Amino acid sequence: MHQAPASVSQILDRLADLAKSPGHTLATARAAAGRLAQRNGVERLVPIGVCLLLVAAAFVSLLPQVTPSSAGPNPTNGLQLGNAAPLVWYGQGDGPGAADFSDIYLGDGTIPNTMQNPGVGTDASSLMRTYTVKAGDSLGVIAGRFGLATTTVYWANKAALPDPGSIRVGQQLLIPPMDGLLIKVGAKDTLETLAAAYKVAPQDIIDANNLPEATVTLGQTLLIPGASGGPMPRSPYQSTARGWLWPVQGINYVSQYYWSGHHAIDIAASMGTPVVSASAGTVVMAGWRSTSGGGYVVWIKHGTKLYSTYNHLSYVYARVGQRLTAGAKIGLVGMSGIATGPHLHFEVWLGYPWALGTEADAVNPCAYLAGC
């Protein structure tokens, strides 16, 4: 009995059934196509051929992908995308639904465009630390904690300090990473003009501020290493005692400031450097003192319950009962008593020294010394 020719839709249905069965091979599909061609004519071969291609593609997609055990990961030219932010296309590009490279956005939008403006985000302000003023602090004490000059801390906080003596407990101060002066870049400033004005090398400014290139931008904050804004102004809040002279002459520096475990300041200097009276007064002790570890000492009374002591001397010029003027030579820097190197251990007492058997009456010398 002659069978009616199969329609194209029937052919497609049969081929689709073959595609759904992974166990059938392409040979089976070819045989079926041959039979259909014999019954339906050559004109059927074109759509059948197209269908065969579809079946072949479907069959191949069902095959498992096998990677040799020795094969490595696909190369990505160093780009790791596993944890990268997704690409977000937010523009329309050159046509509906299209996007070009200017429409690509990586991340959350907070990253500065340093490719277009390398100066963005480069500012000495990001290098500053913040310190909260505590009881007993002075600018000198704070500077000493960070190994900086007192003027560096003062000029970094000039806007918040009417004068050096106006700091208060709880106030927050900016602490530069090194000695220097913070400045704002003006309209006519360049790296070269700034370097010339402050007598530093341009490369020093670049290094101190981590500049990505040898340029500066208007309004940028820069730290000029080694520069100073000049001497600190005298505070109207200072008492007359705050004008005491510095007790060590010649080249010297504060190696340790006043803190809770050290009720004094240590002024390091070469052995034999002259030591002078910080203020006028009367000598109440001069010579060796072993009980406090001070070695050769000089104690001076400056008024009612106000004393200064000079410790670890290598030589003593003063004598008990001697009346001194400010700046009178009383001894030489040494390391007598308990000391690890030549320095002056300088104390200020609100009461006869060690009268209570403790350092409870010893106060911060920087409250009296000018320039501390």
| Second-level CATH architecture of 124-225 | Roll (3.10)
Are the beta carbons of 142 and 173 closer than 8 angstroms? yes
Whether 182 and 229 have beta carbons less than 8 Å apart is answered as no
pLDDT above 70: percentage of residues in the chain: 63
> Whole-angstrom Cα distance, residue 101 to residue 112?
18
Residue 256's region, left for phi above 0, alpha for psi from -120 to 50, else beta, is: beta
pLDDT tens digits, 341-363: 999 999 999 999 999 888 888 99
Burial of 292 (0-12, 13-18, 19+ CB in 10 A): middle
Topology of the domain comprising 240-367: Glucose Permease (Domain IIA) (2.70.70)
Q: What is the mean pLDDT of residues 127-148?
A: 84
Read off the amino acid at residue 26.
L
pLDDT value, residue 56: 64
- pLDDT at position 237 is 40
Q: What is the pLDDT of residue 242?
A: 58
Domain boundaries, the chain: 8-59, 124-225, 240-367
Q: How far is CA 279 from CA 126, 159, 187, in A?
A: 43, 32, 48
What confidence score (pLDDT) does residue 50 get?
61
* Per-residue pLDDT, 145: 85
Contact 172, 130 (CB under 8 A): yes
Question: 140 pLDDT band (50/70/90 cuts)?
Answer: confident
- The pLDDT value given to residue 319: 97
- pLDDT by residue (tens digit) across 296-321? 999 999 988 899 999 999 999 999 99
